């Protein structure tokens, strides 16, 4: 039985008594002085320096015992004797002893009984199994990638661009809108559902088209299918550009492509005339926002349900009104002018509200049957709160007053 000093943190020095496995007992004797700890630390350093020399000496002793000699110059440690056993030990015991002593030196402790060796071997075996499993997984994944074709080429995840489903367009939107969008954006003939950015790119491409007011959603499903839900722009009126062409605009003031509309449909749209600022040419899809255009669009939306009933054809911006506070006149199909005034819903402090103006026109229509008389066109003023004034165009004298 021998004793050896095992170095722990400077506060505690462990004195370990190495005994055979069955009777091993570990004792800890904390040192009370810092000087003792430092001395133990130096002793452990010296022991480490001579470790290799002692290791080779023990191997030589073991070789002598295996050959029937007792020429060792000192007794073996009890733990080593327990590992070696009798003199009939074979080559396997020698290798085990060498590995055992190497583990003990690596661990930095003299507690090298059979149990600690088994723990170290177990850790090595587990680590080896983990490394082998990781290597096998990498190789297996690479082989699977070679054997299995990529999903991008699978027909379940491929969609032809001409198979994309869009919201059915109304009669004023061209049926080739989908092809126009995909061609301008440069999409290939087939799309992959596995493309993570496909929805965003499709939404941006459709939103850039002048006939699309809003992209509601883009949906991908398997088997291969793409659905694009759209809200289309609707022409509300026509304005004349600087070249003299009539351009359709929607309720947002966006200029729409005139070449996509049939001539008959364009002729049915209300016209906005008398604007001081004309829209620039070749600005399709751009918002053309001025105070006059915004007020005219607001008035058109207010009269949309009564436009055909009143047989109207145009809205004229009165030249005497301020550009930032315009006034309007309604032009009938027979040429009569209805002086409407300001376009706001609440009217003007000196004008009745829009509901009252519409009621006056309904009363006039009921009384006379139309805004155009047999004698020609009239000028009808509904801007006064309590009366309607009518006079023939070119005649300042009032022929009828309610």
Residue 152 confidence (pLDDT) above 80: no
Residue 398 confidence (pLDDT) above 60: no
The pLDDT-based confidence of 276 (bands split at 50, 70, 90) is confident
Residue 238 CB burial class (10 angstroms; 0-12, 13-18, ≥19): buried
Residue 277 confidence (pLDDT) above 60: yes
CB atoms within 10 A of CB 138: 10
Helices 114-147 and 91-107 pack at an angle, to 10 degrees, of 90
Residue 24 confidence (pLDDT) above 90: no
The pLDDT-based confidence of 116 (bands split at 50, 70, 90) is low
The pLDDT-based confidence of 1 (bands split at 50, 70, 90) is very low
Distances in Å between the alpha carbon of 382 and those of 141, 209, 338, 341? Answer: 82, 41, 7, 8
Residue 72 has a pLDDT of 43
The answer to whether the CB of 361 falls within 8 A of the CB of 340 is no
Question: Of the ranges 50-54, 296-300, 358-362, which one carries the lowest mean pLDDT score?
Answer: 50-54
Question: Of the ranges 93-102, 258-267, 298-307, which one carries the lowest mean pLDDT score?
Answer: 93-102
Residue 87 confidence (pLDDT) above 50: no
> Which residue has better confidence, 164 or 66?
164
Q: What is the mean pLDDT of the chain?
A: 74
| Model confidence pTM above 0.75 | no
The answer to whether the CB of 249 falls within 8 A of the CB of 238 is yes
d(CA 357, CA 383) in angstroms, rounded, equals: 7
Tell me what the mean pLDDT of segment 232-259 comes to.
90
Contacts of 153 (CB under 8 A, 6+ apart): none
- Tell me the CATH number for domain 155-232: 3.10.20
Q: Residue 250: phi, psi to the nearest 5?
A: -105, -170
Distances in Å between the alpha carbon of 357 and those of 334, 371, 397? Answer: 20, 14, 22
Residue 178 has a pLDDT of 95
Residue 148 has a pLDDT of 63
What proportion of the chain, given as a percentage, has pLDDT over 70?
62
Residue 90 confidence (pLDDT) above 50: no
Give the residue extent of every domain in the chain: 2-112, 155-232, 237-401
d(CA 316, CA 212) in angstroms, rounded, equals: 29
Residue 402 confidence (pLDDT) above 50: no
Residue 80 confidence (pLDDT) above 50: no
Distances in Å between the alpha carbon of 246 and those of 171, 257, 271, 338? Answer: 19, 10, 8, 23
* DSSP-assigned states of every residue in 332-375: ETTS-EEEEEE--TT--TTS--HHHHHHHHHHHHHHHSSSSBTT
Pairing of strands 337-342, 389-392: unpaired
Helices 91-107 and 51-66 pack at an angle, to 10 degrees, of 160
> Which residue has better confidence, 348 or 156?
156
DSSP 8-state secondary structure symbol assigned to residue 161: G
Residue 190 confidence (pLDDT) above 80: yes
Pairing of strands 165-166, 190-192: unpaired
Outline where DSSP puts E strands in 44-162: 158-160
């Amino acid at each position: 039985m021998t004793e050896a000093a095992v170095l722990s943190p400077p506060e505690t020095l462990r004195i370990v008594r190495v005994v055979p496995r069955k009777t091993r007992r570990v004792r800890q004797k904390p040192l009370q002085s810092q000087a003792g700890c430092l001395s133990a630390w130096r002793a452990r350093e010296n022991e480490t320096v001579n470790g290799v020399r002692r290791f080779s000496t023990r191997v030589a002793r073991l070789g002598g015992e295996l050959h029937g000699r007792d020429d060792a110059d000192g007794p073996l440690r009890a733990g080593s004797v327990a590992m070696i056993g009798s003199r009939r030990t074979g080559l396997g015991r020698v290798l085990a002893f060498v590995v055992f002593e190497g583990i003990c030196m690596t661990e930095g402790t003299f507690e090298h009984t059979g149990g600690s060796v088994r723990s170290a071997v177990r850790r090595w075996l587990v680590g080896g199994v983990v490394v082998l499993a990781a290597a096998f997984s990498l190789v297996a994944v690479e082989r699977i990638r070679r054997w299995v074709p990529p999903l991008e080429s699978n027909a379940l995840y491929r969609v032809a661009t001409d198979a994309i489903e869009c919201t059915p367009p109304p009669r004023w939107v061209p049926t080739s809108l989908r092809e126009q969008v995909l061609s301008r954006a440069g999409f290939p003939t087939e799309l992959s559902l596995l493309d993570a950015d496909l929805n965003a790119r499709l939404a941006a491409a459709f939103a850039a088209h002048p006939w699309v007011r809003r992209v509601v959603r883009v949906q991908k499903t398997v088997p291969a299918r793409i659905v694009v839900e759209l809200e289309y722009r609707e022409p509300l009126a026509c304005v004349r550009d600087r070249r003299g062409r009539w351009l359709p605009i929607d309720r947002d003031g966006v200029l729409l492509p005139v070449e996509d509309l049939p001539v008959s449909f364009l002729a049915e749209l209300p016209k906005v005339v008398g604007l001081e600022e004309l829209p620039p040419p070749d600005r399709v899809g751009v918002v053309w926002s001025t105070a006059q255009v915004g007020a005219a669009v607001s008035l058109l939306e207010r009269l949309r349900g009564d436009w055909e009933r009143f047989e109207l054809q145009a809205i004229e911006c009165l030249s005497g009104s301020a550009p930032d506070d315009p006034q309007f006149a309604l032009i009938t199909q027979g040429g009569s002018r209805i002086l409407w005034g300001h376009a706001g819903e609440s009217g003007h402090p000196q004008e009745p509200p829009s509901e009252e103006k519409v009621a006056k026109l309904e009363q006039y229509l009921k009384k006379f049957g139309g805004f155009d008389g047999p004698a020609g066109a009239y000028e009808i003023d509904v801007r006064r709160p309590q009366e309607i004034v009518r006079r023939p165009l070119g005649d300042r004298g009032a022929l009828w007053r309610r």
